[in-house]
Chain A
Amino acid sequence: MSESLVVPTMAEMLAEGKQPEVLFWVGCAGSFDDRAKKITKAFVRILNRTNVSFAVLGTEESCTGDPAKRAGNEFLFQMQAMMNIEVLNAYEAKKIVTACPHCFNTLKNEYPELGGNYEVIHHTEFLKSLIDDGRLTVEGGQFKGKKITFHDPCYLGRANKVYEAPRDLIQKLDVELVEMKRSKANGLCCGAGGAQMFKDAEPGNKEVNVLRTEDALEVKPDIIAAGCPFCNTMLTDGIKHEHKEGEVKVMDVAELIANAQDL
């Protein structure tokens, strides 16, 4: 844990006349949210350990515009998109990896029409490809035998049909992967999407994240795995609401892999 992270920026790479294999799109949550920063670092530790050549945009990165678009502000979204596309195209970015399904969806699906064409992959897909290529090997480590359930982020699962990569990764850890009663295409939202993260919920009789946490707790997991910084926050809050912080942890798939390897 103590070894410091190597995080080159695209600008630094360019100065050295190099083009990284992938551009790591960190995202707003991954850059600023204390919980999500841990996910970012876990992912970087894996990248460092496997010698993947990558770079971040650093201060040149800006919000993809996802929350603005889902809130209905198409202007703001397209301005963000065009600014980002300008930067990405200037660096001739080809392959982008991100740990945020919202960034993933927007970059992958909504940027092309505005002039941004990249191969965009979610970090769980990327980690899976590292394993498939033999560049990363994973063993259970501290998670061996633990009961883990995976919460499908809407913008990764239903929105883009990525269901298997995160599950394949979890299974590599010699754990017991249990499915909630609603999973994959039938999964239930964590409650954060569509810009809900940034506002109070409308009146109702329950919070969505609490309902989803109940789904997860029903299968009595040791760990709830997620692949989205927003889901992570929502489920962590849900666990606190149920006073289960002592028993159940919410972890990103990247954290599971990094911690299993004692990175």
Chain B
Amino acid sequence: MSYLDNILFAILLVVGFGFFAASVKKIIRNINLGVDVDRKDNPKARWKNMAMIALGQSKMVRRPVAGILHIFVYVGFIIINIELLEIIIDGLLGTHRIFAPYLGVVYDVLIASFEILAILVIFAVTVFWLRRNFIRLKRFIHSDLTGFPKSDANYILYFETVLMILFLLMNASDLHLQNVPGGVFHKAGSFPISQFIAPIFNGMSNELVVILFETFWWLHIVGILIFMNYLYFSKHLHILLAFPNTYFANLKPEGQFDNLASVTNEVKLMMDPNADPFAAAPPADENAAPAKFGASDVQDLNWVQLLNAYTCTECGRCTSSCPANQTGKKLSPRKIMMDTRDRLTEVGKNIDANKGVFVPDNKSLLNDYITPEELWACTSCNACVEECPVNISPLSIIMDMRRYLVMEQSAAPMSLNAMMTNIENNGAPWQYSQQDRLNWKNEN
């Protein structure tokens, strides 16, 4: 390779990683639009969650077929990244398989395992594609998965296939060049899969195969850089965010909903006969969370809920286990997550367009994206939370939005208002007198 190649390569890397860094910055900024919540306690349990659920994929295998295939793709992705390191060094220095002399047999084993993983990835991706497009699993043809989200899933599958094929072609042409009389390339690596591809190069001139090899090599690395930058727009962001997401996930029992501290203060004030209503006014703090109960837009959610939205893989396991969804109600927990992300992206764009400040756009997550009908259909059963392979809680968003509907807008369904009035007046959701609470004792 000439120096021109190396410089071009360096520029490509800088541009690729530069764009990626900009995306990451934007994601972090958007997530920080959320309200603060403390998720730094108990690091031991958090690391364990991350190790088991993100790294160990423990929740994926609850659906064994998808789980095992996913592990192929996942391990393939991680391991082939090691190969990437060599590609980058070779590209910058103009070397060829720079690790080979240092690693010896280990190198052979590594390359061989990359190849086997590559073929497993192609196999898994093919099955995934068939499941999405031919077998048409219900959760993949659901009404909330049309348009871009549907194509997105397929694009990634095509992308992965092309990358793996390029990787194998690259190795095959390399192997061919290692074996031609005189050996254009030095011997390095072991090629259990691409050895079967190598014969297609027989009969070609060495010059042509070298050009082909370089083409595969360049396409492969360019493809990876494009893939990396595509993540920002895609549900495939989960390959990165699954890790922080499982780390920061809720550790409390699923049934324990948070107590709104702002409400606690007011209730204490109301119930304490000695409280001085003036003394207790909280100090004016510009950074304090706005005194709004519940959530109507993404800024009212906490940052973990926003991280959840970016992490959602749109797999629909939550929706397929949701009792409301299964009985034909409008609620789909996956849609709750997708809506939250879409709205967050919109808010982020608004901020970008307005020099760093959000200019109200007369829209909100509530109503423009998520309707009260969806919110009221939830039984708070936690099936979606239990199912999610990356520990997302759609339920927590549903609950915060219900709080807004009830406490800010008094917009609960009538029957619920009646229930709440009963609790207020009689201490029971039904219209019975509290004085009758022990009557059962003497009834037959």
Interface residues of A (CB under 8 A from B): 4-5, 7, 9, 26, 28, 30-33, 37, 40-41, 56, 58-59, 61-63, 65, 67-76, 78-80, 82-83, 105, 109-110, 113-114, 154-155, 158-161, 185-189, 191-208, 211-212
Assuming the contacts A63-B427, A194-B381, A208-B379, asked whether A75 and B263 have C-beta atoms less than 8 A apart, the reply is yes
Measured CA separation A194–B333 after assembly (Å): 15
Assuming the contacts A72-B402, A193-B380, asked whether A31 and B428 have C-beta atoms less than 8 A apart, the reply is yes
Q: Does B196 contact A (CB under 8 A)?
A: no
**Are A79 and B270 in touch, CB under 8 angstroms?**
yes
**Are B259 and A72 in touch, CB under 8 angstroms?**
no
Measured CA separation A202–B49 after assembly (Å): 36
**Which residues of chain A are within 8 angstroms of B438 by Cβ–Cβ distance?**
7, 9, 31, 56, 58-59
Most-contacted residue by chain B among A37, A58, A73 (CB, 10 A): A73
Most-contacted residue by chain B among A26, A189, A206 (CB, 10 A): A189
A32, A56, A199, A203: the one within 8 Å of B416 (CB) = A199
**Are B260 and A74 in touch, CB under 8 angstroms?**
yes
**Are B399 and A114 in touch, CB under 8 angstroms?**
no
Interface size on B, residues (CB 8 A): 68
Shortest Cβ-Cβ A-B pairs, 10 listed: A159-B255, A194-B380, A72-B402, A62-B427, A205-B328, A204-B328, A109-B256, A189-B381, A72-B406, A198-B419
Q: Does B162 contact A (CB under 8 A)?
A: no
Most-contacted residue by chain A among B253, B406, B427, B443 (CB, 10 A): B427
Residues of B370-390 whose CB lies within 8 A of A: 373, 376-383, 385-386
Closest to A73 in B: B406
Measured CA separation A114–B438 after assembly (Å): 26
**Which residues of chain A are within 8 angstroms of B436 by Cβ–Cβ distance?**
32
Most-contacted residue by chain B among A67, A75, A154 (CB, 10 A): A75
A69, A76, A82, A208: the one within 8 Å of B327 (CB) = A208
**Which residues of chain A are within 8 angstroms of B412 by Cβ–Cβ distance?**
71-73
Measured CA separation A197–B271 after assembly (Å): 29
**Which residues of chain B are within 8 angstroms of A72 by Cβ–Cβ distance?**
294, 399, 402-407, 412
**Which residues of chain A are within 8 angstroms of B419 by Cβ–Cβ distance?**
67-68, 71, 195, 198-199
Query: 1/0 contact trace for B20-32 toward A, CB 8 Å?
Result: 0000000000000
Question: Interface with A: B37-45, B179-187, B318-326, which one?
Answer: B318-326
Main secondary structure of the interface of B (DSSP, over half): helix
List 21 A-B pairs, Cβ < 8 Å. A30-B440, A31-B432, A58-B438, A63-B423, A63-B429, A65-B423, A72-B402, A72-B405, A75-B267, A154-B381, A159-B253, A160-B253, A186-B321, A186-B383, A189-B381, A191-B379, A198-B416, A199-B419, A202-B324, A203-B328, A206-B328
Q: Name 20 extra pairs, CB < 8 A, besides A105-B256, A159-B382, A199-B415.
A: A30-B440, A31-B438, A32-B428, A40-B440, A59-B434, A59-B438, A63-B429, A73-B412, A74-B259, A78-B264, A79-B271, A105-B253, A154-B381, A195-B380, A199-B376, A204-B329, A204-B377, A211-B326, A211-B327, A212-B323
Measured CA separation A109–B438 after assembly (Å): 26
Measured CA separation A158–B380 after assembly (Å): 11
Residues of B74-101 whose CB lies within 8 A of A: none
Most-contacted residue by chain A among B255, B259, B321 (CB, 10 A): B255
Assuming the contacts A63-B429, A194-B378, A208-B324, asked whether A160 and B255 have C-beta atoms less than 8 A apart, the reply is yes
Assuming the contacts A154-B379, A204-B328, asked whether A113 and B420 have C-beta atoms less than 8 A apart, the reply is no
Q: Does B352 contact A (CB under 8 A)?
A: no
**Which residues of chain B are within 8 angstroms of A198 by Cβ–Cβ distance?**
415-416, 418-419, 429
Closest to B261 in A: A113
B267, B382, B415: the one within 8 Å of A82 (CB) = B267
**Which residues of chain A are within 8 angstroms of B382 by Cβ–Cβ distance?**
154, 158-159
Measured CA separation A83–B257 after assembly (Å): 19
Closest to B260 in A: A74
**Which residues of chain A are within 8 angstroms of B270 by Cβ–Cβ distance?**
79
B254, B377, B383, B405: the one within 8 Å of A188 (CB) = B383
Assuming the contacts A59-B437, A78-B259, asked whether A32 and B328 have C-beta atoms less than 8 A apart, the reply is no
In the complex, what's the smallest C-beta–C-beta distance from B59 to chain A, in angstroms? 11
Assuming the contacts A76-B423, A194-B380, asked whether A71 and B440 have C-beta atoms less than 8 A apart, the reply is no
**Which residues of chain A are within 8 angstroms of B268 by Cβ–Cβ distance?**
82
